[in-house]
Structure 1
Protein backbone atom coordinates (compact mmCIF):
# COMPACT_ATOMS: atom_id res chain seq x y z
CA UNK A 1 0.00 0.00 0.00
CA UNK A 2 2.89 2.33 0.68
CA UNK A 3 3.80 2.25 -3.04
CA UNK A 4 0.48 3.71 -4.16
CA UNK A 5 -0.66 5.68 -1.10
CA UNK A 6 0.58 8.42 1.19
CA UNK A 7 -0.01 7.35 4.79
CA UNK A 8 0.03 10.15 7.38
CA UNK A 9 -1.42 10.72 10.84
CA UNK A 10 -2.95 13.74 12.53
CA UNK A 11 -1.28 15.75 15.28
CA UNK A 12 -4.15 16.48 17.67
CA UNK A 13 -5.24 14.91 20.94
CA UNK A 14 -8.61 13.17 20.99
CA UNK A 15 -10.04 15.85 23.32
CA UNK A 16 -9.53 18.56 20.67
CA UNK A 17 -13.13 18.10 19.49
CA UNK A 18 -15.37 21.17 19.83
CA UNK A 19 -19.14 21.30 20.13
CA UNK A 20 -20.73 22.93 17.08
CA UNK A 21 -17.41 22.94 15.20
CA UNK A 22 -17.32 23.76 11.49
CA UNK A 23 -15.27 20.79 10.26
CA UNK A 24 -15.20 17.01 10.80
CA UNK A 25 -12.69 15.77 13.36
CA UNK A 26 -11.77 12.12 12.85
CA UNK A 27 -10.57 10.02 15.78
CA UNK A 28 -10.30 6.27 16.36
CA UNK A 29 -13.93 6.31 17.51
CA UNK A 30 -16.67 5.35 15.07
CA UNK A 31 -18.63 8.37 16.30
CA UNK A 32 -18.42 11.67 14.42
CA UNK A 33 -16.95 14.80 16.02
CA UNK A 34 -16.45 18.44 15.02
CA UNK A 35 -13.67 21.02 15.29
CA UNK A 36 -13.23 24.68 14.31
CA UNK A 37 -9.90 24.27 12.51
CA UNK A 38 -8.58 22.00 9.77
CA UNK A 39 -5.19 20.64 8.72
CA UNK A 40 -6.34 18.71 5.63
CA UNK A 41 -8.32 19.76 2.56
CA UNK A 42 -8.48 16.72 0.29
CA UNK A 43 -10.13 13.39 -0.40
CA UNK A 44 -8.88 10.66 1.91
CA UNK A 45 -9.51 7.35 3.63
CA UNK A 46 -9.47 7.69 7.44
CA UNK A 47 -8.36 4.54 9.26
CA UNK A 48 -8.30 4.16 13.05
CA UNK A 49 -4.85 3.32 14.39
CA UNK A 50 -5.92 1.84 17.71
CA UNK A 51 -8.90 0.13 19.31
CA UNK A 52 -9.42 -1.88 22.48
CA UNK A 53 -10.37 -5.05 20.58
CA UNK A 54 -8.89 -4.32 17.16
CA UNK A 55 -12.20 -3.18 15.65
CA UNK A 56 -10.60 -0.51 13.47
CA UNK A 57 -13.05 2.01 12.03
CA UNK A 58 -12.68 3.27 8.47
CA UNK A 59 -14.25 6.29 6.74
CA UNK A 60 -14.09 8.04 3.37
CA UNK A 61 -14.26 11.83 3.25
CA UNK A 62 -13.61 14.68 0.83
CA UNK A 63 -13.17 18.26 2.04
CA UNK A 64 -11.68 20.15 4.98
CA UNK A 65 -11.07 18.14 8.16
CA UNK A 66 -8.69 17.43 11.01
CA UNK A 67 -7.46 14.22 12.58
CA UNK A 68 -6.44 12.68 15.90
CA UNK A 69 -2.77 11.72 16.17
CA UNK A 70 -3.48 7.96 16.08
CA UNK A 71 -5.78 8.10 13.04
CA UNK A 72 -4.30 7.48 9.59
CA UNK A 73 -4.98 9.77 6.63
CA UNK A 74 -4.54 7.68 3.48
CA UNK A 75 -4.38 9.51 0.14
CA UNK A 76 -3.76 8.14 -3.35
CA UNK A 77 -0.51 9.18 -5.02
CA UNK A 78 -1.76 8.82 -8.60
CA UNK A 79 -5.52 9.23 -8.99
CA UNK A 80 -5.36 8.24 -12.65
CA UNK A 81 -4.50 4.70 -11.53
CA UNK A 82 -6.52 4.26 -8.33
CA UNK A 83 -10.08 5.15 -7.32
CA UNK A 84 -10.96 6.28 -3.78
CA UNK A 85 -14.26 4.39 -3.57
CA UNK A 86 -12.49 1.21 -4.68
CA UNK A 87 -9.65 1.74 -2.18
CA UNK A 88 -12.12 2.38 0.64
CA UNK A 89 -14.03 -0.84 -0.02
CA UNK A 90 -10.82 -2.82 -0.57
CA UNK A 91 -9.44 -1.76 2.81
CA UNK A 92 -12.82 -2.40 4.42
CA UNK A 93 -12.72 -6.03 3.25
CA UNK A 94 -9.32 -6.39 4.95
CA UNK A 95 -10.23 -4.98 8.39
CA UNK A 96 -10.14 -8.49 9.85
CA UNK A 97 -6.61 -8.86 8.47
CA UNK A 98 -5.59 -5.59 10.12
CA UNK A 99 -7.07 -6.88 13.37
CA UNK A 100 -4.98 -10.04 13.06
CA UNK A 101 -1.77 -8.13 12.26
CA UNK A 102 -2.23 -5.53 15.02
CA UNK A 103 -0.44 -5.83 18.34
CA UNK A 104 -0.99 -4.82 21.95
CA UNK A 105 -2.65 -6.07 25.13
CA UNK A 106 -5.13 -3.60 26.64
CA UNK A 107 -5.27 -1.77 23.28
CA UNK A 108 -4.62 -3.10 19.77
CA UNK A 109 -2.43 -0.93 17.52
CA UNK A 110 -2.02 -0.59 13.76
CA UNK A 111 1.36 0.84 12.78
CA UNK A 112 2.69 2.28 9.54
CA UNK A 113 5.05 -0.69 9.36
CA UNK A 114 1.94 -2.90 9.06
CA UNK A 115 0.18 -0.71 6.51
CA UNK A 116 3.09 0.16 4.19
CA UNK A 117 3.85 -3.42 3.02
CA UNK A 118 0.19 -4.47 2.96
CA UNK A 119 -0.64 -5.95 -0.47
CA UNK A 120 -3.96 -5.96 -2.31
CA UNK A 121 -5.13 -6.68 -5.84
CA UNK A 122 -6.52 -3.94 -8.07
CA UNK A 123 -7.94 -4.10 -11.61
CA UNK A 124 -7.56 -1.21 -14.05
CA UNK A 125 -8.99 2.18 -13.11
CA UNK A 126 -12.13 1.75 -15.25
CA UNK A 127 -13.09 -1.47 -13.43
CA UNK A 128 -12.22 0.12 -10.08
CA UNK A 129 -14.56 3.02 -10.82
CA UNK A 130 -17.41 0.70 -11.80
CA UNK A 131 -17.00 -1.34 -8.61
CA UNK A 132 -16.72 1.84 -6.54
CA UNK A 133 -19.86 3.24 -8.16
CA UNK A 134 -21.94 0.13 -7.43
CA UNK A 135 -20.88 -0.06 -3.79
CA UNK A 136 -20.93 3.72 -3.39
CA UNK A 137 -24.54 3.87 -4.60
CA UNK A 138 -25.57 1.30 -1.99
CA UNK A 139 -23.68 3.22 0.70
CA UNK A 140 -25.39 6.48 -0.26
CA UNK A 141 -28.80 4.80 0.03
CA UNK A 142 -27.84 3.45 3.46
CA UNK A 143 -26.49 6.83 4.58
CA UNK A 144 -29.67 8.55 3.39
CA UNK A 145 -31.77 6.25 5.58
CA UNK A 146 -29.44 6.81 8.56
CA UNK A 147 -29.75 10.57 8.08
CA UNK A 148 -33.53 10.33 7.84
CA UNK A 149 -33.61 8.43 11.14
CA UNK A 150 -31.44 11.07 12.81
CA UNK A 151 -33.90 13.75 11.71
CA UNK A 152 -36.92 11.68 12.80
CA UNK A 153 -35.29 11.04 16.19
CA UNK A 154 -34.67 14.76 16.65
CA UNK A 155 -38.27 15.47 15.64
CA UNK A 156 -39.90 13.15 18.16
CA UNK A 157 -37.64 14.29 21.01
CA UNK A 158 -38.28 17.92 20.11
CA UNK A 159 -42.03 17.29 20.38
CA UNK A 160 -41.52 15.44 23.68
CA UNK A 161 -39.51 18.34 25.11
CA UNK A 162 -42.09 20.89 23.96
CA UNK A 163 -45.04 19.01 25.46
CA UNK A 164 -43.60 17.38 28.59
CA UNK A 165 -40.60 19.48 29.64
CA UNK A 166 -41.39 23.03 28.50
CA UNK A 167 -45.17 22.49 28.96
CA UNK A 168 -45.97 24.42 25.78
CA UNK A 169 -49.71 25.01 25.42
CA UNK A 170 -50.43 24.73 29.15
CA UNK A 171 -51.91 27.80 30.85
CA UNK A 172 -52.63 26.78 34.44
CA UNK A 173 -49.91 25.62 36.83
CA UNK A 174 -49.59 24.42 40.41
CA UNK A 175 -46.58 24.09 42.71
CA UNK A 176 -44.89 20.69 43.18
CA UNK A 177 -41.64 19.24 44.49
CA UNK A 178 -40.26 19.56 40.95
CA UNK A 179 -41.40 23.16 40.60
CA UNK A 180 -44.49 24.41 38.81
CA UNK A 181 -46.32 21.79 36.76
CA UNK A 182 -49.53 21.95 34.69
CA UNK A 183 -52.74 21.65 36.68
CA UNK A 184 -54.10 18.09 36.57
CA UNK A 185 -50.70 16.52 35.84
CA UNK A 186 -49.34 14.08 38.42
CA UNK A 187 -45.91 13.93 40.02
CA UNK A 188 -44.94 10.28 39.40
CA UNK A 189 -42.12 7.77 39.63
CA UNK A 190 -41.02 5.51 36.80
CA UNK A 191 -42.37 2.50 38.69
CA UNK A 192 -45.87 4.02 38.48
CA UNK A 193 -46.06 3.48 34.70
CA UNK A 194 -44.36 0.06 34.53
CA UNK A 195 -45.99 -3.34 34.71
CA UNK A 196 -42.59 -5.05 34.62
CA UNK A 197 -38.97 -4.03 35.22
CA UNK A 198 -36.38 -6.80 35.03
CA UNK A 199 -32.70 -7.22 34.36
CA UNK A 200 -31.47 -10.32 32.54
CA UNK A 201 -29.52 -13.41 33.47
CA UNK A 202 -26.77 -12.99 36.07
CA UNK A 203 -25.34 -16.38 35.11
CA UNK A 204 -25.12 -16.35 31.31
CA UNK A 205 -25.39 -19.82 29.77
CA UNK A 206 -23.02 -21.36 27.27
CA UNK A 207 -23.20 -19.76 23.82
CA UNK A 208 -23.94 -21.77 20.69
CA UNK A 209 -23.43 -21.10 16.98
CA UNK A 210 -27.16 -21.01 16.20
CA UNK A 211 -30.11 -20.58 18.52
CA UNK A 212 -32.11 -17.89 20.28
CA UNK A 213 -30.55 -14.43 20.40
CA UNK A 214 -28.97 -13.43 23.71
CA UNK A 215 -28.36 -9.70 23.99
CA UNK A 216 -26.39 -7.36 26.24
CA UNK A 217 -26.55 -3.62 26.82
CA UNK A 218 -23.98 -3.18 24.07
CA UNK A 219 -26.43 -4.41 21.41
CA UNK A 220 -28.97 -1.61 22.02
CA UNK A 221 -29.11 1.19 19.46
CA UNK A 222 -32.81 2.03 18.88
CA UNK A 223 -33.03 -1.46 17.39
CA UNK A 224 -31.10 -4.52 18.57
CA UNK A 225 -27.83 -4.92 16.68
CA UNK A 226 -27.53 -8.65 16.12
CA UNK A 227 -23.97 -8.53 14.82
CA UNK A 228 -23.06 -7.89 18.48
CA UNK A 229 -25.39 -10.55 19.92
CA UNK A 230 -24.70 -14.20 20.74
CA UNK A 231 -26.95 -17.27 20.80
CA UNK A 232 -28.21 -19.77 23.37
CA UNK A 233 -30.14 -23.04 23.19
CA UNK A 234 -33.93 -23.30 23.45
CA UNK A 235 -33.49 -25.18 26.72
CA UNK A 236 -31.44 -22.38 28.29
CA UNK A 237 -33.86 -19.78 26.93
CA UNK A 238 -36.82 -21.36 28.74
CA UNK A 239 -34.80 -21.62 31.95
CA UNK A 240 -33.86 -17.93 31.85
CA UNK A 241 -37.25 -16.65 30.70
CA UNK A 242 -39.47 -19.07 32.65
CA UNK A 243 -41.18 -16.23 34.56
CA UNK A 244 -41.69 -13.83 31.66
CA UNK A 245 -40.98 -13.46 27.94
CA UNK A 246 -40.04 -10.30 26.11
CA UNK A 247 -42.82 -8.81 23.98
CA UNK A 248 -43.17 -6.36 21.12
CA UNK A 249 -42.67 -2.73 22.23
CA UNK A 250 -40.86 -3.64 25.44
CA UNK A 251 -38.09 -1.11 26.04
CA UNK A 252 -34.53 -2.37 26.58
CA UNK A 253 -32.09 -0.19 28.55
CA UNK A 254 -28.37 -0.75 29.19
CA UNK A 255 -27.69 -0.59 32.94
CA UNK A 256 -24.14 -1.98 33.23
CA UNK A 257 -21.03 -0.64 31.51
CA UNK A 258 -22.22 2.03 29.10
CA UNK A 259 -25.46 3.29 30.66
CA UNK A 260 -28.45 4.63 28.77
CA UNK A 261 -28.43 2.76 25.45
CA UNK A 262 -32.03 2.08 24.43
CA UNK A 263 -33.86 -0.19 21.98
CA UNK A 264 -37.50 -1.02 21.25
CA UNK A 265 -38.26 -4.73 20.85
CA UNK A 266 -39.86 -5.60 17.50
CA UNK A 267 -41.92 -8.66 16.62
CA UNK A 268 -39.10 -9.84 14.36
CA UNK A 269 -36.74 -9.86 17.37
CA UNK A 270 -38.69 -12.54 19.21
CA UNK A 271 -38.00 -14.90 20.89
CA UNK A 272 -35.23 -13.06 22.70
CA UNK A 273 -33.27 -13.36 25.93
CA UNK A 274 -31.07 -10.85 27.74
CA UNK A 275 -28.09 -10.66 30.03
CA UNK A 276 -28.09 -8.54 33.21
CA UNK A 277 -26.54 -5.50 31.49
CA UNK A 278 -29.80 -5.04 29.54
CA UNK A 279 -32.91 -4.23 31.58
CA UNK A 280 -36.43 -4.69 30.23
CA UNK A 281 -39.14 -2.07 30.89
CA UNK A 282 -42.77 -2.83 30.05
CA UNK A 283 -45.23 0.05 30.21
CA UNK A 284 -48.64 -0.34 31.88
CA UNK A 285 -52.03 1.19 31.02
CA UNK A 286 -51.08 4.57 32.54
CA UNK A 287 -48.79 5.44 29.62
CA UNK A 288 -47.56 4.03 26.29
CA UNK A 289 -44.27 2.74 24.91
CA UNK A 290 -43.65 5.84 22.75
CA UNK A 291 -43.83 8.09 25.82
CA UNK A 292 -41.65 5.67 27.81
CA UNK A 293 -39.04 5.50 25.03
CA UNK A 294 -38.79 9.29 24.83
CA UNK A 295 -38.76 9.63 28.62
CA UNK A 296 -35.74 7.38 29.13
CA UNK A 297 -33.95 8.95 26.15
CA UNK A 298 -34.54 12.45 27.54
CA UNK A 299 -31.58 14.49 28.87
CA UNK A 300 -33.19 14.53 32.32
CA UNK A 301 -33.29 10.74 32.57
CA UNK A 302 -29.80 10.34 31.10
CA UNK A 303 -28.50 12.81 33.71
CA UNK A 304 -30.27 10.76 36.40
CA UNK A 305 -28.40 7.66 35.22
CA UNK A 306 -25.09 9.51 35.36
CA UNK A 307 -25.63 10.93 38.85
CA UNK A 308 -27.08 7.75 40.39
CA UNK A 309 -24.75 5.11 38.94
CA UNK A 310 -22.49 3.03 41.15
CA UNK A 311 -19.01 4.29 40.37
CA UNK A 312 -17.08 1.03 40.53
CA UNK A 313 -14.82 -0.65 37.97
CA UNK A 314 -17.90 -1.12 35.80
CA UNK A 315 -20.60 1.56 36.12
CA UNK A 316 -24.09 0.25 36.81
CA UNK A 317 -27.44 1.30 38.21
CA UNK A 318 -29.81 -0.72 40.38
CA UNK A 319 -33.36 -1.46 39.26
CA UNK A 320 -34.70 0.02 42.48
CA UNK A 321 -32.89 3.27 41.73
CA UNK A 322 -34.27 3.28 38.18
CA UNK A 323 -37.83 2.83 39.39
CA UNK A 324 -37.50 5.87 41.69
CA UNK A 325 -36.93 8.35 38.83
CA UNK A 326 -39.43 11.22 39.20
CA UNK A 327 -41.24 12.94 36.35
CA UNK A 328 -44.56 14.62 35.62
CA UNK A 329 -47.28 12.39 34.15
CA UNK A 330 -49.80 14.21 31.92
CA UNK A 331 -53.44 13.35 31.36
CA UNK A 332 -54.47 10.25 29.41
CA UNK A 333 -55.81 12.47 26.62
CA UNK A 334 -52.46 14.20 26.12
CA UNK A 335 -50.60 10.87 26.28
CA UNK A 336 -52.92 9.42 23.63
CA UNK A 337 -52.39 12.46 21.40
CA UNK A 338 -48.62 12.06 21.74
CA UNK A 339 -48.89 8.36 20.90
CA UNK A 340 -50.91 9.10 17.75
CA UNK A 341 -48.29 11.65 16.70
CA UNK A 342 -45.19 9.70 17.75
CA UNK A 343 -45.96 6.08 16.83
CA UNK A 344 -45.83 6.67 13.03
CA UNK A 345 -42.41 8.31 13.52
CA UNK A 346 -41.16 5.28 15.48
CA UNK A 347 -42.61 2.93 12.84
CA UNK A 348 -40.88 4.83 10.03
CA UNK A 349 -37.56 4.67 11.89
CA UNK A 350 -37.99 0.91 12.40
CA UNK A 351 -38.83 0.42 8.71
CA UNK A 352 -35.74 2.42 7.77
CA UNK A 353 -33.61 0.20 10.02
CA UNK A 354 -35.00 -2.90 8.29
CA UNK A 355 -34.18 -1.39 4.88
CA UNK A 356 -30.67 -0.53 6.06
CA UNK A 357 -30.07 -4.13 7.14
CA UNK A 358 -31.25 -5.44 3.76
CA UNK A 359 -29.04 -3.01 1.82
CA UNK A 360 -26.05 -3.81 4.06
CA UNK A 361 -26.51 -7.54 3.41
CA UNK A 362 -26.65 -6.91 -0.34
CA UNK A 363 -23.54 -4.71 -0.19
CA UNK A 364 -21.58 -7.09 2.02
CA UNK A 365 -22.43 -10.10 -0.16
CA UNK A 366 -21.46 -8.22 -3.34
CA UNK A 367 -18.26 -6.79 -1.91
CA UNK A 368 -16.00 -9.89 -1.91
CA UNK A 369 -17.44 -11.12 -5.22
CA UNK A 370 -16.78 -7.80 -6.96
CA UNK A 371 -13.31 -7.52 -5.45
CA UNK A 372 -12.33 -11.06 -6.43
CA UNK A 373 -13.72 -10.76 -9.96
CA UNK A 374 -16.31 -13.48 -9.37
CA UNK A 375 -18.88 -10.90 -10.49
CA UNK A 376 -17.60 -8.99 -13.51
CA UNK A 377 -18.56 -5.39 -14.24
Structure 2
Protein backbone atom coordinates (compact mmCIF):
# COMPACT_ATOMS: atom_id res chain seq x y z
CA UNK A 1 0.00 0.00 0.00
CA UNK A 2 1.27 3.45 -0.91
CA UNK A 3 2.51 5.59 1.95
CA UNK A 4 0.72 8.90 2.38
CA UNK A 5 2.66 12.04 3.19
CA UNK A 6 1.69 15.22 4.95
CA UNK A 7 2.72 18.63 3.63
CA UNK A 8 1.50 22.14 2.96
CA UNK A 9 -0.72 22.62 -0.07
CA UNK A 10 1.76 25.13 -1.49
CA UNK A 11 4.43 22.41 -1.60
CA UNK A 12 2.03 20.06 -3.39
CA UNK A 13 0.69 22.44 -6.06
CA UNK A 14 0.91 26.12 -6.95
CA UNK A 15 -2.26 28.17 -7.25
CA UNK A 16 -2.50 31.34 -9.32
CA UNK A 17 -5.16 34.00 -9.73
CA UNK A 18 -7.20 33.91 -12.94
CA UNK A 19 -7.38 36.57 -15.64
CA UNK A 20 -9.69 39.49 -16.35
CA UNK A 21 -11.98 39.11 -19.34
CA UNK A 22 -14.64 41.85 -19.56
CA UNK A 23 -17.89 40.85 -21.22
CA UNK A 24 -17.35 43.32 -24.08
CA UNK A 25 -14.02 41.68 -24.96
CA UNK A 26 -15.34 38.13 -25.18
CA UNK A 27 -15.56 36.54 -28.60
CA UNK A 28 -17.77 33.49 -28.93
CA UNK A 29 -15.77 30.30 -29.36
CA UNK A 30 -15.19 26.83 -27.96
CA UNK A 31 -12.97 27.70 -24.98
CA UNK A 32 -14.76 27.44 -21.60
CA UNK A 33 -14.63 30.50 -19.36
CA UNK A 34 -14.48 29.31 -15.76
CA UNK A 35 -15.68 31.60 -12.98
CA UNK A 36 -16.07 30.87 -9.27
CA UNK A 37 -19.46 29.09 -9.70
CA UNK A 38 -18.26 27.11 -12.76
CA UNK A 39 -18.36 27.49 -16.54
CA UNK A 40 -20.00 30.84 -17.28
CA UNK A 41 -19.44 31.27 -21.01
CA UNK A 42 -17.20 30.59 -24.02
CA UNK A 43 -14.35 32.48 -25.65
CA UNK A 44 -12.16 32.02 -28.72
CA UNK A 45 -8.87 32.07 -26.81
CA UNK A 46 -7.48 30.02 -23.92
CA UNK A 47 -5.13 31.21 -21.21
CA UNK A 48 -4.37 27.82 -19.63
CA UNK A 49 -3.70 24.41 -21.14
CA UNK A 50 -5.94 21.57 -20.02
CA UNK A 51 -6.43 19.44 -18.12
CA UNK A 52 -6.71 21.93 -15.30
CA UNK A 53 -8.23 22.53 -11.90
CA UNK A 54 -10.05 25.71 -10.89
CA UNK A 55 -11.60 26.88 -7.64
CA UNK A 56 -13.40 30.04 -6.57
CA UNK A 57 -11.29 32.89 -5.18
CA UNK A 58 -14.01 35.47 -4.68
CA UNK A 59 -17.78 35.26 -4.32
CA UNK A 60 -18.38 31.52 -4.46
CA UNK A 61 -15.65 29.61 -2.64
CA UNK A 62 -15.15 25.92 -2.01
CA UNK A 63 -16.34 24.70 -5.41
CA UNK A 64 -13.67 22.83 -7.38
CA UNK A 65 -13.82 22.20 -11.13
CA UNK A 66 -11.81 19.77 -13.23
CA UNK A 67 -11.48 21.10 -16.79
CA UNK A 68 -10.40 18.63 -19.46
CA UNK A 69 -9.66 21.05 -22.32
CA UNK A 70 -7.80 24.36 -22.57
CA UNK A 71 -9.69 27.10 -20.72
CA UNK A 72 -9.81 30.68 -19.47
CA UNK A 73 -9.97 31.04 -15.66
CA UNK A 74 -11.54 34.35 -14.67
CA UNK A 75 -10.04 36.66 -12.08
CA UNK A 76 -12.62 35.49 -9.51
CA UNK A 77 -10.87 32.11 -9.46
CA UNK A 78 -7.64 30.41 -8.55
CA UNK A 79 -6.29 27.78 -10.93
CA UNK A 80 -3.48 25.28 -10.52
CA UNK A 81 -0.53 26.81 -12.32
CA UNK A 82 1.88 24.02 -11.40
CA UNK A 83 0.83 20.48 -10.45
CA UNK A 84 4.40 19.68 -9.43
CA UNK A 85 4.19 16.19 -10.88
CA UNK A 86 0.89 15.31 -9.23
CA UNK A 87 -2.14 13.89 -11.01
CA UNK A 88 -4.54 16.72 -12.02
CA UNK A 89 -7.69 14.69 -11.48
CA UNK A 90 -6.54 13.61 -8.01
CA UNK A 91 -5.71 17.24 -7.20
CA UNK A 92 -9.30 18.21 -8.03
CA UNK A 93 -10.62 15.65 -5.56
CA UNK A 94 -8.09 16.53 -2.89
CA UNK A 95 -8.97 20.24 -3.05
CA UNK A 96 -12.58 19.34 -2.28
CA UNK A 97 -11.43 18.13 1.14
CA UNK A 98 -9.89 21.50 2.04
CA UNK A 99 -11.94 23.78 4.31
CA UNK A 100 -11.84 26.96 2.22
CA UNK A 101 -13.83 28.87 4.83
CA UNK A 102 -10.90 28.51 7.22
CA UNK A 103 -8.77 30.52 4.78
CA UNK A 104 -11.43 33.04 3.79
CA UNK A 105 -11.50 36.67 4.80
CA UNK A 106 -14.62 37.45 6.76
CA UNK A 107 -15.94 40.22 4.52
CA UNK A 108 -19.48 40.59 3.22
CA UNK A 109 -18.45 38.77 0.04
CA UNK A 110 -16.37 35.62 0.72
CA UNK A 111 -12.82 35.66 -0.60
CA UNK A 112 -9.79 33.38 -0.36
CA UNK A 113 -6.18 34.51 -0.17
CA UNK A 114 -3.96 32.25 -2.26
CA UNK A 115 -1.01 32.55 0.12
CA UNK A 116 -3.18 31.60 3.08
CA UNK A 117 -4.58 28.63 1.17
CA UNK A 118 -1.06 27.44 0.36
CA UNK A 119 -0.57 26.96 4.11
CA UNK A 120 -3.33 24.33 4.34
CA UNK A 121 -2.04 20.99 5.63
CA UNK A 122 -2.91 18.06 3.36
CA UNK A 123 -2.23 14.32 3.02
CA UNK A 124 -1.45 12.65 -0.30
CA UNK A 125 0.07 9.44 -1.76
CA UNK A 126 2.54 8.90 -4.60
CA UNK A 127 1.43 9.71 -8.15
CA UNK A 128 0.67 6.10 -9.13
CA UNK A 129 -1.71 5.76 -6.20
CA UNK A 130 -3.15 9.20 -6.99
CA UNK A 131 -4.08 8.03 -10.49
CA UNK A 132 -5.69 4.85 -9.17
CA UNK A 133 -7.79 6.78 -6.66
CA UNK A 134 -8.74 9.43 -9.22
CA UNK A 135 -9.87 6.77 -11.73
CA UNK A 136 -12.15 5.15 -9.16
CA UNK A 137 -13.67 8.46 -8.09
CA UNK A 138 -14.08 9.62 -11.70
CA UNK A 139 -15.97 6.41 -12.52
CA UNK A 140 -18.32 7.07 -9.61
CA UNK A 141 -18.77 10.67 -10.75
CA UNK A 142 -19.68 9.47 -14.24
CA UNK A 143 -22.31 7.11 -12.81
CA UNK A 144 -23.73 9.88 -10.63
CA UNK A 145 -23.94 12.23 -13.61
CA UNK A 146 -25.62 9.52 -15.71
CA UNK A 147 -28.18 8.90 -12.96
CA UNK A 148 -28.84 12.64 -12.64
CA UNK A 149 -29.45 12.93 -16.38
CA UNK A 150 -31.74 9.90 -16.21
CA UNK A 151 -33.70 11.47 -13.34
CA UNK A 152 -34.02 14.72 -15.30
CA UNK A 153 -35.29 12.78 -18.33
CA UNK A 154 -37.83 10.87 -16.24
CA UNK A 155 -38.97 14.10 -14.58
CA UNK A 156 -39.47 15.71 -17.99
CA UNK A 157 -41.47 12.68 -19.16
CA UNK A 158 -43.63 12.79 -16.02
CA UNK A 159 -44.32 16.51 -16.48
CA UNK A 160 -45.20 15.99 -20.14
CA UNK A 161 -47.61 13.16 -19.26
CA UNK A 162 -49.25 15.24 -16.52
CA UNK A 163 -49.68 18.14 -18.94
CA UNK A 164 -51.17 15.82 -21.56
CA UNK A 165 -53.51 13.88 -19.27
CA UNK A 166 -54.65 16.44 -16.69
CA UNK A 167 -54.21 19.88 -18.29
CA UNK A 168 -54.75 19.37 -22.00
CA UNK A 169 -57.04 16.34 -21.43
CA UNK A 170 -55.64 14.57 -24.49
CA UNK A 171 -57.10 11.14 -23.53
CA UNK A 172 -60.60 12.65 -23.30
CA UNK A 173 -60.23 14.51 -26.59
CA UNK A 174 -58.92 11.36 -28.27
CA UNK A 175 -61.86 9.27 -27.04
CA UNK A 176 -64.30 12.00 -28.06
CA UNK A 177 -62.83 12.02 -31.58
CA UNK A 178 -63.45 8.30 -31.97
CA UNK A 179 -59.81 7.20 -31.93
CA UNK A 180 -59.45 3.52 -31.05
CA UNK A 181 -58.37 2.59 -27.49
CA UNK A 182 -55.29 0.75 -28.74
CA UNK A 183 -54.16 3.80 -30.70
CA UNK A 184 -54.77 6.15 -27.76
CA UNK A 185 -52.86 3.94 -25.33
CA UNK A 186 -49.90 3.64 -27.66
CA UNK A 187 -49.80 7.34 -28.51
CA UNK A 188 -50.34 8.75 -25.02
CA UNK A 189 -48.54 6.14 -22.90
CA UNK A 190 -51.68 4.83 -21.18
CA UNK A 191 -52.72 1.36 -20.13
CA UNK A 192 -56.25 0.22 -21.00
CA UNK A 193 -57.14 0.40 -17.29
CA UNK A 194 -56.01 4.02 -17.04
CA UNK A 195 -57.72 4.99 -20.27
CA UNK A 196 -61.00 3.57 -18.95
CA UNK A 197 -60.87 6.10 -16.09
CA UNK A 198 -61.11 9.03 -18.52
CA UNK A 199 -64.54 10.05 -19.87
CA UNK A 200 -65.15 10.61 -23.57
CA UNK A 201 -66.62 14.09 -23.36
CA UNK A 202 -65.62 17.60 -22.25
CA UNK A 203 -68.05 20.00 -20.60
CA UNK A 204 -67.89 23.72 -19.86
CA UNK A 205 -66.92 25.05 -16.41
CA UNK A 206 -65.79 28.36 -14.90
CA UNK A 207 -62.22 27.23 -15.64
CA UNK A 208 -62.96 26.29 -19.22
CA UNK A 209 -63.50 22.81 -20.62
CA UNK A 210 -63.03 19.91 -18.20
CA UNK A 211 -63.76 16.17 -18.50
CA UNK A 212 -67.37 15.20 -17.88
CA UNK A 213 -67.87 14.13 -14.27
CA UNK A 214 -64.93 16.20 -13.01
CA UNK A 215 -65.40 19.26 -10.83
CA UNK A 216 -63.69 22.65 -10.74
CA UNK A 217 -62.65 23.77 -7.27
CA UNK A 218 -59.82 24.90 -5.04
CA UNK A 219 -57.00 22.72 -3.78
CA UNK A 220 -58.41 22.71 -0.24
CA UNK A 221 -61.60 21.08 -1.52
CA UNK A 222 -59.66 17.97 -2.49
CA UNK A 223 -57.18 17.60 0.38
CA UNK A 224 -56.78 18.66 3.99
CA UNK A 225 -53.53 20.47 4.73
CA UNK A 226 -51.75 20.53 8.10
CA UNK A 227 -48.70 22.38 9.30
CA UNK A 228 -46.02 19.68 9.65
CA UNK A 229 -45.21 20.94 13.15
CA UNK A 230 -48.83 21.00 14.33
CA UNK A 231 -50.48 17.85 12.98
CA UNK A 232 -53.54 16.92 15.10
CA UNK A 233 -52.96 13.71 17.07
CA UNK A 234 -56.19 12.28 15.71
CA UNK A 235 -54.70 12.40 12.22
Paired residue for 2:107?
105
Task: Verify the 8 A CA contact 1:174 1:180 in the aligned structure 2.
Answer: yes
SS at structure 2 position matched to 1:157? helix
Q: In the TM superposition, what is the alpha-carbon distance from 1:70 to its structure 2 partner?
A: 1.8
Equivalent residue in structure 2 for 1:153, among 152, 155, 159: 155
Q: Give the direction of change, closer, same or farther, for the CA distance of 1:28–1:244 in structure 2 (3 Å limit).
A: farther
Match of 2:5 in 1: none
Q: Provide the rounded CA distance (Å) in 2 between the counterparts of 1:194 and 1:157.
A: 21
Matches within 5 A, 1:168-207: 168-171=170-173, 172-198=201-227, 200=229
Residues 54-69 of structure 1 aligned to structure 2 (within 5 Å)? 56-63=62-69, 69=75
Contact 1:28 1:50 in 2 (8 A): yes
Q: Distance in 2 between matches of 1:245 and 1:6?
A: 61
Note the 1:5-84 alignment, pairs <5 A.
5=14, 7-9=16-18, 11=20, 26-29=34-37, 35-37=41-43, 40=46, 42-50=50-58, 56-63=62-69, 69-77=75-83, 81-84=85-88
Q: Which one scores higher on RCO, CA 8 angstroms, separation ≥ 6?
A: 2
Residue aligning to 1:129: 131
How high is the TM-score relative to the length of structure 2? Answer: 0.61
Hey, what's the Cα distance between the residues in 2 that align with 1:118 and 1:168? Answer: 61
Aligned partner of 1:162 in structure 2 is 164
Match 1:85 to one of 89, 112, 123: 89
Q: Deviations over 1:68-87 (max 9, x none)?
A: 54233335455xx2111210
TM-score (norm 1): 0.41
C-alpha displacement of 1:91: 1.0
**What secondary structure, in the 3-state scheme, does the structure 2 residue paired with 1:136 have?**
helix
CA contact (8 A) 2:33 2:71 kept: yes
User: In the TM superposition, what whole-angstrom CA distance separates every residue of 1:219-266 from its partner, at most 9, and x where no partner exists?
Assistant: xxxxxxxxxxxxxxxxxxxxxx573599xxxxxxxxxxxxxxxxxxxx
Distance in 2, matches of 1:143 and 1:154, equals 17
CA shift digits 1:263-288 (9 cap, x unpaired): xxxxxxxxxxxxxxxxxxxxxxxxxx
What RMSD in Å do the two structures reach over aligned CA positions?
Answer: 3.8
**TM superposition shift of 1:102:** 0.7
Question: How far does residue 7 in structure 1 lie from its aligned partner after superposition?
Answer: 2.4
Any gaps of 5 or more consecutive residues in structure 2? Answer: 1-8, 24-28, 174-200
Cα distance change, pair 151–128 in 1 and its aligned pair in 2 (3 A)? same
Is structure 2 residue 232 aligned with structure 1 residue 243?
A: yes
Give the 3 Å change call, closer, same or farther, for CA 36–24 of structure 1 in structure 2.
closer
Residue 62 of structure 1: how far off its partner (Å):
1.4
Count of aligned residue pairs for this structure pair: 192
Does the aligned pair in 2 maintain the 1:76–1:82 contact within 8 Å?
no
